[in-house]
A and B are shown apart, each in its own frame.
Chain A
Amino acid sequence: MKLTLTVNGTTHTSEVEPRTLLVHHLRDNLGLTGTNIGCDTSSCGACTVHFEGQSVKSCTMLAVQADGGEITTIEGLADQAQQAGISTGDQDWHPMQEAFHQCHGLQCGYCTPGMVMAATSLLEENPDADEGGVREGLEGNLCRCTGYHNIVKAVLQAKGGA
Chain B
Amino acid sequence: MTAVMGTPMLRKEDGKLLTGEGKFVDDIHVPGELWMGMVRSPHAKATITSIDASGALAMPGVQAVHTGPDLADMGLWIAPLPCAWPVTPDMLNPPHFPVASGEVHHVGEIVAVVLADSRYGAADAIDEVVVHYDSLPAAASVAEARDGDVLAHSDLDTNKAYHWPLVPDPDALDAAFAGADVVVAADFVQQRLIPTAMEPRGVLAVPSPHGGDITLYSATQVPHILKVMAAATTGIPENQIRIIAPAVGGGFGAKLNINPDEILALTLANKLGRAVRWTESRSEAAGSTHQGRGQLQHIELAADSNGKLQGVRVHVDADMGAYMMLITPGVPLLGSFLYTGVYDVPAFGFTCDGYFTNMTPTDAYRGAGRPEASYAIERAMDLLALEVGVGPDEIRRRNYINGGEAFENHEAASTLVFDSGHYGPSLDRALEMADYEGLRAEQSRRREAGDKVQLGIGMCTYVEICGLAPSRALGGLGYGAGGWEHATVRMLPTGKVEVVSGSTPHGQGHETAWSQIIADKMGVSPHDVTVLHSDTAMSPLGLDTYGSRSLAVGGVAIAMAADKVVEKARLIAAHQFEAAPEDVQFENGSFSVAGSPSSSVHIQELGFAAFAAHDLPDGIEPNLQEQVSFDPPNFAFPFGTHVAVVEVDEDTGGVKLTGYFAVDDCGNQVNPLIVEGQVHGGIVQGAAQALFEEAAYDDEGNITNPSLMDYLVPSTMEMPSMKLDSTTTPSTTNPLGVKGVGEAGTIGSAAAVINAVCDALSPHGISDLEMPASPQRVWNAINRASGNGEGGAS
Contacts and interface: CB of A to CB of B under 8 A. Distances in A.
Contacts of A112: 17-18
Nearest to B283: A40
A108 B198 contact: yes
A139 B18 contact: no
B419 interface: no
B237 interface: no
Contact of B119 (A24, A33, A152): A24
B117 to A, nearest CB: 13
Interface string B239-250: 000000001111
Interface residues of A, number: 58
30 contacts: A20-B120, A33-B27, A34-B19, A36-B199, A38-B282, A40-B281, A41-B707, A43-B707, A44-B713, A74-B20, A101-B10, A104-B11, A107-B681, A108-B17, A109-B18, A113-B18, A131-B721, A136-B716, A138-B715, A141-B715, A143-B198, A144-B197, A144-B252, A144-B685, A147-B680, A149-B680, A149-B719, A150-B677, A151-B716, A152-B721
Interface in A78-106: 78, 91, 93, 97, 100-102, 104, 106
B18 A116 contact: yes
Given A104-B677, A145-B250, A138 B19 contact: no
Interface residues on B, range: 35 or more
A123 interface: no
A119 to B, nearest CB: 11
Interface of B: 10-11, 13-24, 26-27, 29, 119-120, 196-200, 247-250, 252, 281-283, 506-509, 673-674, 676-677, 680-685, 707-709, 713, 715-717, 719, 721-722, 745
Interface in A112-162: 112-113, 116, 131, 134-136, 138-152
B495 to A, nearest CB: 23
Contact of A148 (B673, B682, B715): B715
B10 A40 contact: no
B721 A100 contact: no
Q: In the complex, which of the residues B14, B26, B250 has the most CB atoms of chain A within 10 Å of its own CB atom?
A: B14
Interface in A6-54: 17, 19-20, 24, 27-28, 32-41, 43-44, 46
Q: Top 4 closest A-B pairs, CB basis? A: A34-B20, A109-B17, A108-B507, A110-B249
Nearest to A98: B18
Contact of B677 (A74, A107, A131): A107
Q: In the complex, which of the residues B22, B719, B745 has the most CB atoms of chain A within 10 Å of its own CB atom?
A: B22
B18 A101 contact: yes
Given A108-B506, A111-B198, A43 B709 contact: yes
Interface of A: 17, 19-20, 24, 27-28, 32-41, 43-44, 46, 73-75, 78, 91, 93, 97, 100-102, 104, 106-113, 116, 131, 134-136, 138-152
B13 A109 contact: yes
A37 B26 contact: yes
Q: Helix, strand, loop or mixed for chain A's interface?
A: loop
A108 B197 contact: yes
Contacts of B673: 104
A141 B282 CA distance: 15
A108 B716 contact: no
Given A33-B23, A109-B247, A152-B716, A41 B709 contact: yes
A147 B681 contact: yes
A77 B585 CA distance: 50
Contacts of A73: 20
Contacts of B119: 24, 28
B466 to A, nearest CB: 18
A134 to B, nearest CB: 8
